[in-house]
Structure 1
């Protein structure tokens, strides 16, 4: 048996004799299994709940009686964001951003009913998921198992004995690296098995799964290499433990918590009230469709009359009120899109600052990678919002055109007793409206979104490997 294998075997035996280490490892495995089971159950429950509510909302919309189309514009409907197969592994921002939207005319609403806001305060500390275990708990276990791998040999004087027996510095480090690497693989194996089971659903995409697996493998490998580098540089086990725990606290706990606050302060966002006020102000500048003397809509009215070659709206072959509704929705939606685009750009800048902090914290990089590949990051939420707005606009414009084509202007402006009945259109029109269908992203798009995080983690791994190489050459040197 080669020297590195002998050293790795002895290191694993030493860990196995440590009751604290064995208990910690067993607890990690149990925690991972609980995380997999709870995440799987939670994801299935949420998916079924959203599907049930979406079906109920569609049924309520289709069950409307004969109505005026503009009444249906304001009746609106609810839509729900479906979850992807990988959301159980890493739910990302889904629990915070909301999962349903109320769609109506003349207004662009935000997503509501985030799981965190609907649950107990304990949920706000973070749902127990396999991703959380691998990102936070597994590195801490590796720290406590590996902090003394090399510093212990230096501290006890056994390093020189090993070298006198023919073991080189490189062989010693490779053996310790192999032992701690095996522990890391065993620690991550339950989460990866759960990941495969979770992702093995209809619609699961292979490329994002491979990206996530590679990312977490590099992340755990980074901690293994980094722990041994610190253990080699610090001659006392106690000091190595303090240094590693401090690094874990800063990189895994502090920076991921502080970075979003710094980004929010650097790139402030307008709240919903400020946006609504700004949109109302711009709408007044655009024009008032209810004011016959408004310059924009007076010009629009004349253009409609000229298009059909008539002088009065009563002589138009279409209902002018419906045509006016089409134009009004076009104007308001253009404002919605502009303000939404500005908000998306600001949020993208915030996320860019947070992701850039991955240079200081690999935990931030792995979170960005994990959420991006799972489709549960801000980009995934934005994708839902944009598709929802496109569906809302198309639905409202179909209803406005239905008013223009199927309700006469004379009946629409009549005030007699039977006018209300003449303004209504058949209920079969509501069932003819298409239901909202979320178009999920392609696997290549998800994997591409995770590449920046993967690149940062690999860069961290390369830097840690270089540090370990330097520490190996200095191993056992007198101070």
Structure 2
């Protein structure tokens, strides 16, 4: 048996004799299993709740009686963002961004009812999910298990005895690292098993699942290397423990919470009230469809009359009010899209700053990878918003076209006693309206989005391995 294997075996045996270490490991495994069960149950409950509300909103929309199409434009409908199969492992930003939207004409609403606004403030610190346990809790346990691996040998003077017995510096370091790596695998395995069970129930996203598994095992391997590196660089276990706990506090707790605030300060975003005021101001400049003297809509009217070869709107083969509604919706939507694009660009720059901060914190890189591969990052939320807006615009324009083609202009402008009845169209039209169906990304797309975070983690791993190799060459030189 090689010296490396002997040293690894003895180190594992020493850990097994430490009752505190054994109990702590078992508690972490139990916590992981609880996190898996809790996250799965929570996400299952959310998915059922959203599906139930989505069905109720759809039923209410289709149950409308005969009415004027423009009334349906303002009646609107609710849609809900469905949860992806990997959201139970890492819910990402879903708890903060909201999960439902009210769609109506002339307005572009935001998602509402995020879990954070309806839950305890503890949700802001971190939900009990498998991702949270592996990102924050597991490294701390590895610190307490491995901080004395090499520092203890140096402090007690047993390192020279090992070397006198024929073990090289590299074999000693590799043996200690192998023992800690085995423990890291045992710690991460329950979460990965639960991850496979959770994700395998609703759909196969093999590539994204592999990206997540590779990222988390690389992260735990990195911590094993960092712990061994610090333990090889100090003279006593106490110093190693203090340095590693400080490193964990900064890298895994402090930076992941400070960096987003710094990014928000560097790239500010207008709040909802400021955006609404700016949009209202631009809408007034754009034109008023109810003003016959408005320059834009006067030109639009002349263009419609010329296209159909008539002199009056009353002579058009379609309802001019419906065409007017279509033009108004086109203009307002282009304005909404412009402001939304500015907001997306600012949020994208914020996210780029956070991802770049992964150079200083592997926990940030892992979090970016995990959310991207799970489809629960900002890009996943934006995907829902974009599809929701495309559906809203298509639905409103369909109703405006229905007004133009199914409601006569004379009836639409009449004010006699029976005019209201003549303006209505059959309720069968609402039942034939298309339903909102969110199209999720493929596993390959999610895995591709996770590559930047994975690259940063692998760079950390390579740098840590080089530093450990350098520290190994000087191991035992200091007295």
TM category, shorter:
over 0.9
Q: What's the counterpart of residue 342 of structure 2? A: 342
Q: What's the counterpart of residue 23 of structure 2? A: 23
Does residue 12 (structure 1) correspond to residue 40 (structure 2)? The answer is no
Shift of 1:122: 3.0
TM-score using structure 1 length: 0.99
TM-score using structure 2 length: 0.99
Q: What's the counterpart of residue 462 of structure 2? A: 462
Shift of 1:121: 2.9
Q: What's the counterpart of residue 71 of structure 1? A: 71
Gaps of 5+ in 1: none
How far apart in 2 are the matches of 1:225 and 1:9? 18
Does residue 315 (structure 1) correspond to residue 315 (structure 2)? The answer is yes
Deviates more, 1:58-67 or 1:111-120: 111-120
Shift of 1:125: 2.6
How far apart in 1 are the matches of 2:33 and 2:319? 63
Q: What's the counterpart of residue 143 of structure 1? A: 143
Shift of 1:285: 1.1
- What secondary structure is seen at the aligned counterpart in 2 of 1:85? coil
Shift of 1:203: 2.0
Does residue 249 (structure 1) correspond to residue 240 (structure 2)? The answer is no
How far apart in 2 are the matches of 1:119 and 1:301? 52
Q: What's the counterpart of residue 264 of structure 1? A: 264
Q: What's the counterpart of residue 331 of structure 2? A: 331
Q: What's the counterpart of residue 202 of structure 2? A: 202
What are the equivalent positions in structure 2 for 1:94-243 lying under 5 Å apart? 94-243=94-243
1:184-221 C-alpha deviation (Å, 9 max, x unpaired): 00011111111111111232310000000000111000
CA contact (8 A) 1:216 1:366 kept: yes
- What secondary structure is seen at the aligned counterpart in 2 of 1:86? coil
Q: What's the counterpart of residue 88 of structure 1? A: 88
Q: What's the counterpart of residue 366 of structure 1? A: 366
1:382-424 C-alpha deviation (Å, 9 max, x unpaired): 0000000000000000000000000000000000000000000
What are the equivalent positions in structure 2 for 1:443-462 lying under 5 Å apart? 443-462=443-462
How far apart in 1 are the matches of 2:354 and 2:121? 25
How far apart in 2 are the matches of 1:339 and 1:203? 35
How far apart in 2 are the matches of 1:80 and 1:391? 13
- What secondary structure is seen at the aligned counterpart in 2 of 1:88? coil
CA contact (8 A) 1:77 1:103 kept: yes
CA contact (8 A) 1:86 1:204 kept: no
- What secondary structure is seen at the aligned counterpart in 2 of 1:318? coil
Deviates more, 1:348-357 or 1:113-122: 113-122
What are the equivalent positions in structure 2 for 1:306-455 lying under 5 Å apart? 306-455=306-455
How far apart in 1 are the matches of 2:169 and 2:120? 53
How far apart in 2 are the matches of 1:441 and 1:254? 32
Shift of 1:442: 1.5
Shift of 1:457: 0.3
- What secondary structure is seen at the aligned counterpart in 1 of 2:78? strand
CA contact (8 A) 1:218 1:461 kept: yes
Shift of 1:3: 1.1
CA contact (8 A) 1:66 1:424 kept: yes
- What secondary structure is seen at the aligned counterpart in 2 of 1:402? helix
Shift of 1:167: 0.7
- What secondary structure is seen at the aligned counterpart in 1 of 2:86? helix
Deviates more, 1:384-393 or 1:9-18: 9-18
- Between the two proteins, the alignment pairs up a number of residues equal to 479
CA contact (8 A) 1:79 1:102 kept: yes
How far apart in 1 are the matches of 2:108 and 2:201? 34
Gaps of 5+ in 2: none
How far apart in 1 are the matches of 2:433 and 2:478? 80
How far apart in 2 are the matches of 1:61 and 1:461? 54
How far apart in 2 are the matches of 1:350 and 1:338? 19
How far apart in 1 are the matches of 2:235 and 2:120? 47
Does residue 280 (structure 1) correspond to residue 280 (structure 2)? The answer is yes
Deviates more, 1:199-208 or 1:240-249: 199-208
CA contact (8 A) 1:6 1:175 kept: yes
- What secondary structure is seen at the aligned counterpart in 1 of 2:235? coil
How far apart in 1 are the matches of 2:436 and 2:307? 34
Shift of 1:124: 2.9
RMSD: 0.7
1:244-283 C-alpha deviation (Å, 9 max, x unpaired): 0110000011111110111000000011111111111111
- What secondary structure is seen at the aligned counterpart in 1 of 2:382? helix
